Structure 1
Amino acid sequence: MIRRPLRPLARILSARANGEDPDRIEAEARAARMRARLRAERVQAERRLWLLAVVFLMAFGTVAGRMAVLAASNPQEPENGYSAVHIANQRADIVDAKGRILATNLRTHSLYAQPHLMVDKVAAADGLAKIFPDLDADRLLRDFERRKKFLWIKRSLSPEQQQAVHDLGEPGLLFGPREMRLYPNGAVGAHVLGGTRFGQEGVHAAEVVGVAGVELTYDEFLRDPAQAGMPLELSIDLSVQSAVEQVLAGGMMLMNAKGAAAVLMEANTGQIVALASLPDFDPNQRPRPGPNPADSPIFNRAAQGVYEMGSTFKILTAAMALESGRYGPETIIETKGPLTWGKFRIRDFHDYGPRLSLTEVMVKSSNIGTARIAMDLGVSAQQDFLKSLGFFDPVPVELPAARKAKPLLPPRWSELSAMTISYGHGIAITPLHLATAYATIANGGKRVRPSLVKGAAAPTEADRVISEETSAELRSMLRAVVSRGTASLGEVPGYNVGGKTGTADKPNERGGYHKDKVMATFASIFPAEDPKYVLIVTLDEPEERSGREPRRTAGWTAVPVAAEIIRRIAPLMNMHPLPKEG
C-alpha cells in the first residue's frame, strides 16, 4: 500500500511558484485521505454484518429443525437423569405342569413428584395421605419443600389409586409406565415361586428381579429377551398344590400346630407336584424376615427346615439290613429292653416283648430293634448307606434356600450315634431329603434327583442304591405299618397307602430336648404295590386335644392330615381307586 503524504510538498512548491493557494491543496489531500478511510470502514462493516447474518440464519435453522422433529414425534415425559441407561423390564411367565399361569407381568404405573411444578403442596400431601394410608402427610410436605426436582411417591399403583391421584389435579404429580410382577393365585405355591422386587428403575421402566424361589434360580432365563417370552414350565400342578395347602392349613389348625410342611413327589422321576410350607405369604406383597427366621412366613419348612425325623428313619435301617444279606423280612431281632449302652438307655414306647421279626419291628416301631440292627451292621455301613441317599449334602433342587440347607450330622459318629440315628435321632434333615429317600425306596431302588421343572430326567440304572427285591420288601413293610401298625389312621380306601410315622422331641435352645414339644412326621407312598407318589407331612408342635390328655405322636396328628390330603388329591391326579384288598 502506497501511503499518501499528508502535505504533498511537490504540489505546494509548484502552487507557490504559480501564485496558487497552498492551503487549498493541503485541504484537498486531507479530504481525499478521509474518503479512502471511510470506504475501508464501510467494507469492513458490511463483511461483519454478512457474517452475523449467516450465524443467525444457522442458529434459527437449527431451532426450527428441532421444533419440526418434536412436532412430528409422539409426546413424552422428559427422562430423569439417572434413568438414561436402558432398562429391560420384560420378564417371562411361569406356568404349572398344565400351562396355567403362576406368575406373569401386569402393566401399571408408578407415581413420582416434581415439587418445583407443584401448585399446592399442602393439598397434594393431604390428598396423597388419604389415598395411601401408609404415607404421612407431614413427611410428604417436608419432602416437597426441600427443593428436590424429583421424588418417588409409589413404585406401583392400582388403576383405582391412579385415578384418585389424577383427580387431585396437581400438575406436579406425574405417572410413569412400568410392569410389575403379578401372582394371580395369591399365596398358592408361594415358597416355590419366591418373589421379585424392582431392581434398576427409571421414570419410564423398572427392572424386575427375583429374590427367592424359582424366580431367583431362573432369573437370567426369565429376563433373557433371546427366549422370546417362552414361559418357565414347572412340575407343580396348581390344582393339587392348592388342595394340599388347604388341607394342610386345616390340619395345622385342628392339631394346634405352629407350623407345617408337605412335599408331594413323583416316585419314579423325583418331580415335585406340590410343595407347601405354613405359615405362608402372598408373593405379591412379600414380607420381610422377622426376628426369628425359623418362624417367619418366608421360611421354607419343606426345603429349608432341618429337623430330626424320628421313626421315619427306621425303614432306612431296614433297607440297609436287607441289602446286607444278613436279614430278611422274617429275621428275628431281640427287642427286650431297655437297651443299655454305657450310661444311656434306649426304650420303646410300649413293651413289645423279647423278640420281633424285622417286619414287626417296622410295624410296631421298635427303637430297640432298629438300634440292635445298627449295632450289628456298624457305623461305616450306616454312613455309606445314608451318604448314598444324599443325606450328607443339601438337596440339589431349584430352590436357593434348599441348596443352603445342609443336614446336621453328629460331630463324632460313634456306635451310640449309629444306634440313635437308626430310629431318627441325632441327625437332622429337611422333609425334601426324606421325600427323596422314600422315592428311592419306592421306585425300585433308583435314587431320584428332586426337580421343580417339568420334564426333568428320570434316574437310570447307574443311580441304583438298593435292589428291586429289597424295594419290594420295604414297600410291603410300609403297607403293613398302615394296615395294622402305628399309621392305621392313614388308611384311604382304594389307594392302599403305605408309610412310616415319626415323632421326634424338639431340641431345647438351652440344651437337651423339650418334653412336650415334638416334630410329627408321616412319610407315605401310594399305592403301595406300585407307588406313583411319595407324600411327606410334617407338623411342628402338634397337639390333638380331643381326648383327656393331649396326644402329640405322628399316628394321631400327621397321619390323619396326610390321609385327608391323599383323599383329596388322588382324584385330581386321575388316580382311580383300586379294588378292596382280600
Structure 2
Amino acid sequence: MIRTPLRPLARVLDAREKGENPDAIVRENLRLRHEAMRDQARTRAEGRLFIMAVLFLCAFTVVGARMGTLAASVPQEPRMAATTGTAITAQRADIVDRNGNVLATNLATHALYAQPPHMIDHARAAAELVRIFPDLDEERLIKDFTGSRKFLWIKKKISPEQMQQVHEIGDPGLLFGPREMRLYPNGKLAAHVLGGTSFGREGVHSAEVIGVAGVEKAFDTFLRDPANEGEALRLSLDLTVQSAIRRVLYGGMKLLNAAGATAVMLDAHTGEVISLVSLPDFDPNDRPRPLTTGDAGDSPLFNRAVQGVYELGSTYKIFTAAQAMELGLVNAHTEVDANAPMKWGKHKIREFRNKNYGPKLSVTDVIVKSSNVGTANMALAIGKERQQEFLRRLGLFEPTPLELVEAPGAKPLLPKNWGDIHTITASYGHGISASPMHLASAYASLLNGGKLVKPSLLAGGAAPTGERIVSEDVSKASREMLRAVVTRGTASFGEVEGYAVAGKTGTADKPKPTGGYYDDKVIATFATVFPAHDPKYVLVVTLDEPSENSGTKPRRTAGWTAVPVAAEIIRRTAPLLGLRPEIEPATDFGVTLAGN
C-alpha cells in the first residue's frame, strides 16, 4: 500500500507562502491515516466475527440434532464393540398352528451382568440381588464381586419388574444386556411338539437362540434364516383340538390312575398330525433338565407318542385280517379255526382269561371277539415272509418320518430271529413293539381306502404317495369289522352317537426292565377311525398302567380304560373339526304297513 507523506513538500511550501502553520498539515494527515487504519481493522474484525458466528451456529445445530436423536431413541446400555468373530443373530421366526394361532414367538427382555471393578458397595448389592432373586447365593456373589473377576453373568433372563428393582439398587457395576427370549404363550400345550430353545453363543448385547428339542431343533435352520424374512413355521396342529384332547386325556389319566398317557390324531388321507399329546408334560417356558438317573420314560420330557415303543397288543389283529383278505385267503365271512388253546411246539396260544371262542369263527368275529387263536391261524396261512413285508410297507419296521428330532431314535423293536412262533405272536401285537405314532399312520394307510400316508407335522405337508397298501374293498371290509368291534365287541364304550366310531382295542402286559412281564401292569390302547363309512380322522389313545377301580376288582383292559377316554375325545373334538353328527345308513330296508 502507498502511504501519503505526513509533510508533503508542495503543501508545506504553499502553507508557508500563505503564512499558515505547516504542522496543521501533519496533524490532518495523521488523523486521516488513523481513520483509514481504524476502518480497515473494523472490517477485518467484522469478517472474523461473522465466520465465528457461522461456525458456532453449525456446531450448535449438530449438537442439537444429536441430542434430539438420542432423546427420541430407546435407552440402551453401552455396548462393547467386538473386533473378532461373527455377529450373533438372535431373531427367530414364529411357530403357528394350521389356523395361524401363535405357538411360539419372541419376547424382548434383558440379561443381568456385573462388572465388579465399577461396583460401589459389593455387600449391599449382593444382599439386594438375593432379595430380588432368591435362588442366588449371597456368599458366592460377595466372593465373586470382591475377587479378581472383571465380568460375570448374574441372570440370563429377567422380567421388566426385576429389571426395575435392580435399577433401584443404584450400583453402576450392575448392567443390563438386551436379550430376545423364546415365549410359548400356551404353556404346556403342544410342549412335546415344540420342544424348546436355549442360548447358544452369548455376548453382552445379544445372544443366539437355538432349538434343543422338538420342531424348534428340527427346523432350527429355517427358523433362524434371515432370508425367510420372518415367515412363520406353520404346523398341522389345531390348537383348539390339541387343548380339548389334552384336557380329556389328563382327566382320564388321573381317573384311571395311569402313570402316563398319549393321544395322536391324524388326518386319515394326508397324514397331517392334528394333535399330539403326551402326559406327563412340561412348560417349555421353563424346560426341566433331563433325568440323569432312573428310566428316561419317567421324565416329562419323554414323548410317549413318538419315543415310546410299546407292545400295542390286539390293535395289530386288523393288519393280519386285512392282509389275509388282500391275498384272497379269506373274506369277512370266512370261518377260521379258533379252537383254544392252540398248541405250537412247546407253546400254547390262549385267549384272554382262557376263553374258547371256537371251534370256528368268522373273520369278522375273530376281530370282534379279539381271538388270538383265530388271528394266529390266519397269520400262519399268510407266512412270515409275506407278513413281514406287509408290516414293513405299513411303516412298522422303521422310525417314523415325523419332523421331530426325537423321531429317528424311535425304531420299532422286532424279534431277532423271526420264526413261526413270532409270526403267531406278532399277528396279535405281542413280541413286537412300535410307537402310537406308528400305529396311527398304519391305521390311516389301511383304513383311508388303502393308500399309504406318512405322518407330518407341517400344514399341507408331504402329499400322499399314492402307494396302495390294500384294495378299497379290503379297506372298507376292515372298517366294517372295526365298526362291529364298537357296536357289539370289546369297544362298546367307544360309541359316540352320530360319528360311527370304528376301532380296535389292545391290552398288552407291560414288560419288566429285567425281563418277563408284570402281572398287574398293562399298556392299554384303542386305535380308532371315524366316521367309519367316510373316514376322516384316525385317533390312537394309549394309557400306561391304567386301572379302573370302581368295581370289586381292578379292571385294566383297554375296553374299560382307553376306550371311554377315546370316546370322550371324539365327542369333544368332532364338532371342532367341523364334523356334523350323521345317522348311519341302514343296511336293510323294509316297509311297515300301518292300519288306520
- Global fold match (TM > 0.5): yes
Equivalent positions of 1:251-270 (< 5 A) are 251-270=252-271
The answer to whether the 8 Å contact 2:524/2:545 transfers is: yes
- Whether 2:540 is the aligned partner of 1:536: answer yes
Q: Name the structure 1 match of 2:517.
A: 513
- Measured after TM superposition, the shift of residue 465 of structure 1 is 1.0
| Aligned counterparts, 1:477-496, within 5 A | 477-496=481-500
User: 2:432 — aligned with what?
Assistant: 427
Structure 1 CA distance, aligned partners of 2:487 and 2:523?
23
Corresponding letter in the other structure for 1:101: V
How far apart in 1 are the matches of 2:250 and 2:365? 33
Match for residue 456 of structure 2? Answer: 451
Aligned counterpart for 1:553 among listed residues 557, 573, 583: 557
Query: Is the 2:456–2:462 Cα contact (8 Å) retained in structure 1?
Result: no
Q: How does 1:145-184 map to 2 (within 5 A)?
A: 145-184=146-185
Shift of 1:83: 8.3
For 2:400 and 2:366, how far apart are their aligned partners in 1?
Answer: 29
Counterpart of 2:388, as a letter, is Q
**What is the identity, as a one-letter code, of the residue corresponding to 2:464?**
P
Residue identity in the other structure for 2:131: K
> 2: CA distance between counterparts of 1:352 and 1:112?
73
Q: Corresponding residue for 2:231?
A: 230
Q: Partners of 2:215 and 2:428 in 1: how far apart?
A: 34
The correspondence for 2:301, drawn from 298, 301, 306, is 298
Residue 353 of structure 1 corresponds to which residue in structure 2?
358
Q: What is the aligned partner in structure 2 of residue 466 from structure 1?
A: 470
Q: Deviations over 1:450-469 (max 9, x none)?
A: 100011133243x1111111
**CA separation in 2, counterparts of 1:415 and 1:145?**
74
2:373 — aligned with what? 368
Give the superposition deviation at 1:580: 5.2
Instruction: Summarize the Cα distance change of 1:442–1:506 in structure 2 as closer, same or farther, 3 Å threshold.
Output: same
2:570 is matched by which residue type in structure 1?
I
What is aligned with 1:329? Answer: 332
- The answer to whether the aligner puts 1:319 opposite 2:331 as a matched pair is no
C-alpha displacement at 1:76, in angstroms? 5.3
Superposed CA RMSD in Å reads 1.8
Q: Which residue of the partner structure matches residue 573 of structure 2? A: 569
Alignment equivalent of 1:413, drawn from 410, 418, 421: 418
Specify which of 396, 404, 410 is matched with residue 401 of structure 2.
Answer: 396
Verify the 8 A CA contact 1:518 1:540 in the aligned structure 2: yes
Q: Read off the aligned partner of 1:219 and give its amino acid letter.
A: D
| DSSP 3-state at the match of 1:542 | coil
Query: Is the partner of 2:574 in helix, strand or coil?
Result: helix
Taking the aligned partners of 2:416 and 2:81, their CA distance within structure 1 comes to 57
TM-score when normalising by structure 1: 0.86
> Aligned letter for 1:141?
I
Count of aligned residue pairs for this structure pair: 516
Q: Given residue 194 of structure 1, which amino acid in structure 2 is its aligned partner?
A: G
1:442: which partner in 2?
A: 447
Q: 1:360, 1:458 → 2: CA distance? A: 35
The 8 Å contact of residues 493 and 580 in structure 1, kept in 2 or not, is answered as no
User: CA shift at 1:143, angstroms?
Assistant: 1.1
Aligned match of 2:592: none
Partner secondary structure for residue 214 of structure 1: helix
Superposition pairs for residues 80-95 of structure 1, below 5 Å? 85-95=86-96
The one-letter code matched in structure 2 to 1:345 is: K
Identical positions, percent: 60
Question: What are the within-5 Å matches in structure 2 for residues 22-33 of structure 1?
Answer: none
TM-fit CA distance, 1:147: 2.0
Deviation at 1:392, TM superposition (A): 1.3
2:376 is paired with a residue of what secondary structure? helix
Write the deviation string for residues 132-181 of structure 1: whole angstroms up to 9, x where unpaired: 12111111111111221111011111111111111111111111111100
Quote the Cα distance in structure 1 between the aligned partners of 2:209 and 2:535.
Answer: 41
| Corresponding position of 2:197 | 196
For residue 536 of structure 1, what is the amino acid of its counterpart? V
Counterpart of 1:464, as a letter, is: R
- Map Cα deviations across residues 316-341 of structure 1 (whole Å, 9 max, x no partner): 01111111111100110111111111
Q: State the distance in 2 between where 1:188 and 1:131 align.
A: 30
d(CA) in 1 for partners of 2:482 and 2:444?
Answer: 13
Q: Distance in 2 between matches of 1:522 and 1:460?
A: 27
Question: TM-score, with normalisation over the residues of structure 2?
Answer: 0.84
Task: Give the conservation status (yes or no) of the 8 Å contact 2:77–2:176.
Answer: no
In 2, Cα distance between equivalents of 1:490 and 1:80? 65
* Cα distance in structure 1, aligned partners of 2:172 and 2:246: 47
The 8 Å contact of residues 77 and 175 in structure 2, kept in 1 or not, is answered as no
Q: 1:470/1:177 Cα in 2 relative to 1: closer, same or farther (>3 Å)?
A: same
Paired AA for residue 304 in structure 1: Q
Question: What is the rounded CA distance, in whole Å, between the counterparts of 2:84 and 2:348 in structure 1?
Answer: 69
State the SS of the aligned residue for 1:572.
coil
CA distance in 1, matches of 2:338, 2:135: 64
Question: Which residue identity is paired with 1:208?
Answer: V
CA contact (8 A) 1:195 1:286 kept: yes
SS of 2:208's partner is strand
Specify the code of the residue in structure 1 equivalent to 2:152. L
Question: Which is worse superposed, 334-343 or 308-317?
Answer: 334-343
Which position in structure 2 is the counterpart of 1:79? 80
Other structure's SS at 2:250 match: helix
- Alpha-carbon distance in 2 for matches of 1:317, 1:134: 58
Q: Is the CA contact (8 Å cut-off) linking 1:83 and 1:201 kept in structure 2?
A: no
Alpha-carbon distance in structure 2 between the residues aligned to 1:460 and 1:303 = 22
Deviation at 1:84, TM superposition (A): 6.0
User: Which residue in 1 is equivalent to 2:249?
Assistant: 248
